[in-house]
Amino acid sequence: MINMFANMKAQKEQQRRAEVNKALIHYEARLGGELFGPLAAGGRREFFCLDKHTWVWHEEWMDTNGKRQVMTTRYDVRPNGILKSQGGSSYQKISGKEADNFYKVTEMYLKRVLGEYDRMLQVA
């Protein structure tokens, strides 16, 4: 009986951690999306670090015909370069200006997110 309660407690703790992690990713995604400037009405933009190697840029907007458009770009950071997949296509290595821009925006993201967390801890 005690084992059953211990398992239930462990499952609840695991679920709580997963919910907190999901909420943090959504918060960071919103902050990251703000790095690219203002959005048109009805648009949505997210940019975030999913895990140790993966960055995601997701954007939704209305085109000139009023049709909703969606584009998701995934960046896979590897020791020998950065691979990009856009809209579900296969991964291609990025180079030059795009790699420089990616590096700059990830630095901006980290400064922004860490700054927000520091500010939250000071208030708490």
Domain ranges for the chain, please list them.
2-123
Q: Quote the pTM value.
A: 0.80
Burial class (CB in 10 A: 0-12, 13-18, 19+), 8: exposed
- Give the CA count within 13 Å in the CB-facing half-sphere of 19: 6
Q: Are 69 and 75 in contact (CB under 8 A)?
A: no
pLDDT at 124: 61
- Reported for 69-76, long-range contacts at CB under 8 A and 24+ positions apart, including other chains, are 75/102
Q: What averages of pLDDT result for each successive group of 10 residues across the chain (124 residues)? A: 73 87 88 88 92 95 91 95 93 94 94 86 73
Provide the residue type at 44 as one letter: R
Collapsing DSSP to helix, strand or coil, 4 comes out as helix
3-state SS, one letter per residue, for 56-117: EEEEEEECCCCCEEEEEEEEEEECCEEEEEECCCCCEECCHHHHHHHHHHHHHHHHHHHHHH
